[in-house]
Amino acid sequence: MSTGFKEYSEAMWSAWLHGWRPSAHQKTAEIFDLEAMPEPYLLFGNQENPLTVLTTNPGQTMERQKYTSISSGEGLVKPGGSYEKAAGVLGNYYKNNLTGQAKRRIDAQIDLAHEAGYSGVMQVECLPWHSKSLPDKGRIVNISREDPDLADYSSEVCGFLESRPVVALSAVSSKFDLREINLNHYAWINRLIELLSFDERGFRLVPLTEKNGKVTSALFKDVHAETSKSILLVMGGNHFPSKDNRSELAKNIAL
């Protein structure tokens, strides 16, 4: 079992600051902004006993996330510190400065963690590199397996998550009622299943929201996992249910 995710993150951060970029797979450079700092994880609040939230990847690059800004001392974080320190600085900055859906998602995951009895949130990214969008998730899954750097990163994530309580968040198509969805039909959901070591043969489906008789968000909870492992699927985007619909979610991931 791999237990070196944080150490791997420190090494990646240091290498990036010294000029290293993933170069073994050309498609990685085409999709991701490798001149923006890698963000394998973010820290929100007290980390004594956090809920781990697994999300896709950092979003669109800000100017102050770029190598030119960080290396000159004008970035969001200073180049001389550890990545763990940077993860806390970034979490605090994003919480207080982002707007729109990104801000609502951060606030929602922090509120959810506290309601479920956790001390804070550690947000882990499936992919550590920034991108404006990731429209073709099937292609991304293939690249993350073919690129040796991304494959190594995924292995570290998987080992790290094994002993931690995790909720993986993902948007899903609105074509089907979530009570009828086949998890194996979606490449990205299969990727989450792999990273969580999730037993899709033994899960409990918890409907969270409905519209016109169709379940539009639901929690898929691994009933065999020693620590809480769940996948939250939401139609329409990577966001948490509204506060009015969050109590059932908190109850099912509670300590």
In the sheet with 120-125, reading across from the earlier edge strand, the strands are: 41-45, 120-125, 51-55, 166-172, 229-235, 214-222, 203-211
Can you tell me the mean pLDDT for 197-226?
Answer: 94
Q: For residues 112 and 121, give the distance between their C-alpha atoms in angstroms, rounded to a whole number.
A: 9
- pLDDT(1) > 50: no
Q: 12 with 6: CB under 8 angstroms?
A: no
Where do the domains of the chain lie?
A: 5-253
Beta bridge pairs of residue 232: 169, 219
pLDDT given at position 63: 97
pLDDT given at position 52: 98
Q: Helices marked H in 116-201 — which ranges?
A: 137-146, 148-161, 187-196
CA neighbor of 223 nearest in space, from 210, 243, 241, 205: 205
pLDDT given at position 213: 93
- pLDDT(160) > 80: yes
pTM: 0.96
Q: For residues 138 and 120, give the distance between their C-alpha atoms in angstroms, rounded to a whole number.
A: 32
Q: pLDDT band for 3, please (50, 70, 90 cuts).
A: low
CA neighbor of 136 nearest in space, from 220, 61, 56: 56
Spatial neighbors of 175 by CB under 8 A, at least 6 apart, are none
- pLDDT(24) > 80: no
